[in-house]
Amino acid sequence: MNQIKRSKRTRRKFSGTFKAKVALEAIKAQETINQIATRHEVHPHQVTQWKQQLLRQAPAAFEQPVLVNGQDGLEEELYEQIGRLKMELEWLKKKLGPALP
């Protein structure tokens, strides 16, 4: 029988950073989609899909306020803890009186 040998080719996986970089290049339109695809060794259709996905999801980046590494909640919690500790210290100073320096 005449069997065709097919090599098993694993799918390439691209990081989000790579996809965003390629999509941004496509949006800038300084080169054609084919030129970008050739340079990055991907199919032109893939570049077009990533570009469309970026354009669809771009508005979401501006809809919610951006927290810098979750600092907003942490900062507030730390100020509350400082306030409680100051109150405890004052209470202890008052209760112990002159025994503390």
User: Domain count of the chain?
Assistant: 2
Are 25 and 54 part of one and the same domain?
A: yes
Which residue from 67, 25, 30, 66 is spatially nearest to 46, judged by alpha carbons? 25
Task: Read off φ and ψ for residue 11, nearest 5 degrees.
Answer: -75, 140
Question: DSSP string covering 37-74, please?
Answer: HHHHTS-HHHHHHHHHHHHHHTTHHHHSPPPSTTHHHH
What one-character DSSP code corresponds to residue 69?
T
Q: Are residues 49 and 35 in the same domain?
A: yes
Q: Per-residue pLDDT tens for 5-44?
A: 667 778 889 999 999 999 999 999 999 999 999 999 999 9
Note whether 27 and 49 are same-domain residues: yes
Give me the percent of the chain exceeding a pLDDT of 70.
82
Give the highest mean pLDDT range of 18-32, 66-80, 83-97: 18-32
Q: Are 57 and 63 in contact (CB under 8 A)?
A: no
Q: Is the pLDDT of residue 45 over 70?
A: yes
Q: Is the pLDDT of residue 69 over 80?
A: no
Cβ distance 55 to 28 under 8 Å? no
